[in-house]
Amino acid sequence: MVELTILGNYGPYATAQGACSGYLLNVDGFQIMLDCGNGAFSKLQKYTDYSKLGILILSHLHPDHYSDIYCLRQALKYQMKQGKRQDPLFVYLPEGPQQLVEEMKQWDDVFALASLEEAGKAVNDFNLFTLRFFPVQHQVPAYGVQFGMQGQALLTYTGDTGWFPGLEQFCCGSRYLLAEASLREYELAERGAYHMTARQAAQLAQNCGAEQLILTHFFPEANLHQLEREAEQNFDGKIHMSATGRKYILEL
């Protein structure tokens, strides 16, 4: 069984009770965390025993996607000291910004780092599931990820990205699309290179043949009803508005 739990769904800052980007994929008990933004580690503890995390994927190194790694590091260190965990956590991340990556490289007692630039060259096969990484369009090196099982692309996460021609190709064939919807329409001209609107996310889902769209990475002041309506006008499938604690069983 594959279960997706939303830990945090805001960017670049969260609401009073909310958290920034963080998603937990439970694959028959194997736990994959997608992004670890501010507040996401706190929420994670509500839904799982984090000492059992198998893989962490950082789509890019902006604070709303990685900043809780500082807390996670301390927590894992303590867990290892207590004998509750032996192995470092496998962390996929981009090779830049260099200063941040260099800092994280020093934490090799708790993290085993893997470059997304390298991992993106092939399908990463973990027997039970596969991970495909693809570069997206953002201010810093950033990646999306496609999770697959039994030869079927199940979930694609866009991370933060502006729409670009190759994006549909990367997302194609995935039943579920977890897509960012950061922008309001009037912001598109100024910031459209790096983020998408709900309309664009919906068009992406429509064009790449997804069955269900989960919208995420909301600006805290955005009107979510309006975003949902914009998405509905451009996608025939089912639309979900992400929220902390929401769970989705992903069916093959």
Residues that bind Zn ion (CB under 5 A): 11, 64, 160
What burial letters (b/e) apply to 122-142, b meaning 16+ CB within 10 Å? Answer: eebeeeebbbbbbbbbbeebb
Give the residue with the Cβ less far from Zn ion, 14 or 32: 14
Give the residue with the Cβ less far from Zn ion, 11 or 94: 11
User: At closest approach, how far in Å is the CB of 63 from Zn ion?
Assistant: 8
Give the residue with the Cβ less far from Zn ion, 40 or 171: 40
User: At closest approach, how far in Å is the CB of 173 from Zn ion?
Assistant: 25
Give the residue with the Cβ less far from Zn ion, 11 or 144: 11
Closest-approach residue to Zn ion (CB): 11
Lookup: tokens for 249:
């069983």
DSSP result, the chain: -EEEEEEE-BSSS--TT--BSEEEEEETTEEEEEEE-TTHHHHHHHHS-GGGEEEEE-S--SHHHHTTHHHHHHHHHHHHHTTS--SPEEEEE-S-SHHHHHHHHTTTTTEEEEEHHHHTTS-EE-SS-EEEEEE--SSS--EEEEEEETTEEEEEE--S----TTHHHHHTT-SEEEEE--B-GGGHHHHTTT--BHHHHHHHHHHTT-SEEEEE-B-TTS-HHHHHHHHHTT-SSEEEE--TT-EEEE--
User: At closest approach, how far in Å is the CB of 209 from Zn ion?
Assistant: 26
User: At closest approach, how far in Å is the CB of 21 from Zn ion?
Assistant: 6
User: At closest approach, how far in Å is the CB of 67 from Zn ion?
Assistant: 11
Give the residue with the Cβ less far from Zn ion, 76 or 181: 181
Give the residue with the Cβ less far from Zn ion, 54 or 63: 63
User: At closest approach, how far in Å is the CB of 64 from Zn ion?
Assistant: 4
